[in-house]
Amino acid sequence: MNRSALSTTMSMALTVACTAAAAAQTVPDRTVLPIPEPQHPHSTVLDARKATPPPRFEVKAPAGAPNVLIVLLDDFGFGQSSAFGGPINMPTVDRLAHNGLRYNQFHTTAMSAPTRMALLTGRNHHMTNMGSITETATAFPGNTGQRPESIATLAMILRYNGYSTAQFGKNHETAVWEISPSGPTDRWPTRSGFDKFYGFMAGEMNQWAPTIYDGLDRIERPPTPGTIS
């Protein structure tokens, strides 16, 4: 085979390899997160004007992936809402329930932070170091108030699969001593899988003058009419 024919054969082989690789990448491997960036064959084209770049790597949610909405209410019993046969009429919740799924095998810990962490991770609350609320954390394993890096939140799993994620309202999953301008911010919502957070960072909060955060930034609240600032 002469040099010209060999060059043509190599170019065809490279084209076939790139085409096959691109076809294989249409269905990413979601068993490992983050989804690894595909490896493309090295280009042998020396002239940049003739080189073809590989497709841009972008993780998107699977086709037909459902929206995920979780509404968590403190101090609210399983059988209180009309969605589960309770006496409190909640038509919006009823509509969501009729168009979604109803789970009835999740057991709370009768405390907010441990229950929320169990719901966020799918793990026993002691596995996430949330044996109690963050305000009563200790140095004992299982109750340090600090979620291990080895345990991912549902939001993180969704974001790694191409979802846009957000949390609004109460966050009670960050240790008290980590809520400061100096951090550390590893376990704040926007470092725990949520692209957007708008709410307060505590178990209890003044409902008239709450301390609100937008992501990592504390929001300056305008003075309430009729009060002296």
Query: For 187-219, how does the pLDDT look when each residue is reduced to its tens digit (9 = 90+)?
Result: 999 999 999 999 999 888 888 888 999 999 999
Residues counted in the chain: 229
Is the pTM higher than 0.75? yes
For 26, half-sphere exposure in the C-beta direction (CA atoms, 13 angstrom radius) is 7
Strands, E, within 143-185: which ranges?
Answer: 166-170
Looking at residue 16, its pLDDT comes to: 44
Helix (H) or strand (E) holding 113, with range, is: helix 112-121
What rounded mean pLDDT belongs to the chain? 86
Q: pLDDT of 43-102, one tens digit each?
A: 899 999 999 998 899 999 988 999 998 888 888 888 899 999 999 999 999 998 898 888
Q: In terms of pLDDT, which residue wins out, 20 or 192?
A: 192
The Cα 180–Cα 32 span in angstroms is: 33
- Residue 42: is it exposed, middle or buried by C-beta count within 10 angstroms (0-12/13-18/19+)? exposed
Q: In terms of pLDDT, which residue wins out, 137 or 208?
A: 137
Q: How confident is the model at residue 220 (pLDDT cuts 50, 70, 90)?
A: confident
Q: How confident is the model at residue 227 (pLDDT cuts 50, 70, 90)?
A: low
Looking at residue 11, its pLDDT comes to: 44
Can you tell me the mean pLDDT for 164-180?
94
Tokens of 102: 């109803």
Q: b/e string for 173-208 if b means 16 or more Cβ within 10 A?
A: bbbeebbeeeeebebbbbbbbbeebebbbbbebeee
| Res. 3: pLDDT tops 60 | no
